[in-house]
Amino acid sequence: MTHFTKLFLLFLCLFVSNECHNHGQLGLKWSGAVDTHKHDNSLIKKPPDVTKARKMKTEHLLKVEDHDFTMRPAFGGPAIPVGVDVQVESLDSISEVDMDFTMTLYLRHYWKDERLSFISSTNKSMTFDGRLVKKIWVPDVFFVHSKRSFIHDTTTDNIMLRVFPDGHVLYSLRVTVTAACNMDFSRFPLDSQTCSLELESYAYTDEDLMLYWKSGDESLSTDDRISLSQFLIQKFHTTSRLAFYSSTGWYNRLFINFTLRRHIFFFLLQTYFPATLMVMLSWVSFWIDWRAVPARVSLGITTVLTMSTIITGVNASMPRVSYIKAVDIYLWVSFVFVFLSVLEYAAVNYLSTVQDRRERKLREKVQSQSLPCTCGISQTRTMIMLDGTYSEADMNSLACFTEESLVPEEEQGDASQKAERMVVHLSVSSESTQTTTKKKKSLRTLNIIQNTHAIDKYSRMIFPGSYIFFNLIYWSVYC
């Protein structure tokens, strides 16, 4: 009885479990039917959006494989218009030595390619990365006069392609380009430079591709935080014109123009103020005694070498242009002033040496004479000049002696000596004053030159006055 009961319970359990399993499968079938019914109703109410279909490939959706994208849109027809707008992200550097600039920007192209149109009930665009760009046609825009350029690739290629259902395409990329800029340094560092970044189609002439600014001047936008250390960015603006090549034809060219004005304060501190101080330092030698040869020579050489160092340092950071810059005029004029101060001391030293040599000879001549010299005689005194075969130097030497200093005639022992000597009394009269007046005019300049103290005295006024006058003219012309 016990075994029979156990078998009965076992069969009962198996039966119940089997019924539960069948009931579960029926419930799943019923729910699946309900969901399928609901899904069918939703498809009837809302048509499927092929842009959101996961199983359809991009190539199939855009029909990339059905067209030849090596040819431009509307090949053989009118020129395809391609609009361009640019957003300048940064102006990285301006190089005077290489005469170029580096700029990072977002370059966007707009055109219509009906071969890329697709059906979409929501009229939403599709966005792709740079992998699709290699499979479709895109404008071949390049930067004219560019030295280096690259598309950023961190973390992936910074390229975006957006396709609209009607075939309109937006192609955007982030580029850093280094382009040439023809700079004029004739007013450096008080100059303003205008540089241009030029865009142009490489292969398609204006008969195949019409490149234009999409929104005129508003096609160019900049970041307000863009700044440079040496320049003030005054303005950005756009222009366009046709460029002609003799072998290929006419091309549309777009220009991004920007004007830069150089900050002068840096160059005032580094160039103009040191040069001015060196010129003023060279004037100190005018107040130093001319006998202090080591002091004045060392001061002159120091200022000359310092000016040479300043000129070399400025030219090292500039291109080797064949014209004179504004800073060159200032530095070289300052160098000339410093050099003239050295020459001024050389002239003073030479004239002083000549004057000392003459005074030494005069003292030796006076000491060799037996008669005492009484110089500084008044005009009414009578002088005695011995006539005969005397030289002019002997006559001048006798001009210093007074009448009383000579031996009187009564005391002469030999009468024959009286006949050989001829005593002439000269008084400074009107006849002598006429000849001396003519000589004064010619000797006035010579006296100034011979007076070394007068040379330093006049230099103290002439050098500063001339340099101030030069600065007034210089800054009024270039500022």
- C-alpha to C-alpha distances, 282 to 196, 237, 272, 312, nearest whole angstrom: 45, 49, 16, 20
Q: What per-residue confidence (pLDDT) applies to 444? A: 53
Q: What per-residue confidence (pLDDT) applies to 101? A: 96
d(CA 242, CA 368): 97
Averaged pLDDT, groups of 10, the chain, 479 residues long: 62 63 47 44 49 52 72 89 95 91 96 88 85 90 95 92 93 96 93 95 94 92 88 92 94 95 93 96 91 91 94 88 93 96 91 84 77 45 40 47 45 43 39 50 50 82 96 94
How far from the centroid of its chain's Cα atoms is residue 125's Cα?
A: 47
Dihedral sign from CA coordinates of 321, 305, 343, 457: positive
Q: What per-residue confidence (pLDDT) applies to 477? A: 94
d(CA 29, CA 26): 5
Q: What per-residue confidence (pLDDT) applies to 87? A: 95
Structural tokens at position 212: 């234009």
Q: What DSSP character marks residue 116?
A: G
Closest listed residue to residue 310, CA positions, set 341, 282, 280, 331: 331
Closest listed residue to residue 307, CA positions, set 328, 290, 286, 284: 328
Task: List, as one string, the DSSP characters of 393-458.
Answer: HHHHHHTT-BSTTSPPSTT-S-HHHHHH--EEEE---HHHHHHHHHHHHHHHHHHHHH-HHHHHHH
Q: What per-residue confidence (pLDDT) applies to 440? A: 53
Which domains are seen in the chain, by residue range?
61-262 (2.70.170.10), 266-359+465-478 (1.20.58.390)
Run of H or E including 477: helix 452-478
d(CA 310, CA 316): 10
Q: What per-residue confidence (pLDDT) applies to 9? A: 65
Instruction: Provide CB contacts within 8 A for 278, sequence distance 6+.
Output: 303, 306, 307, 310, 334, 338
d(CA 44, CA 60): 25
Q: Residue 211's CB: how many other CB atoms inside 10 A?
A: 23
Q: What per-residue confidence (pLDDT) applies to 453? A: 72
Structural tokens at position 394: 């002997």
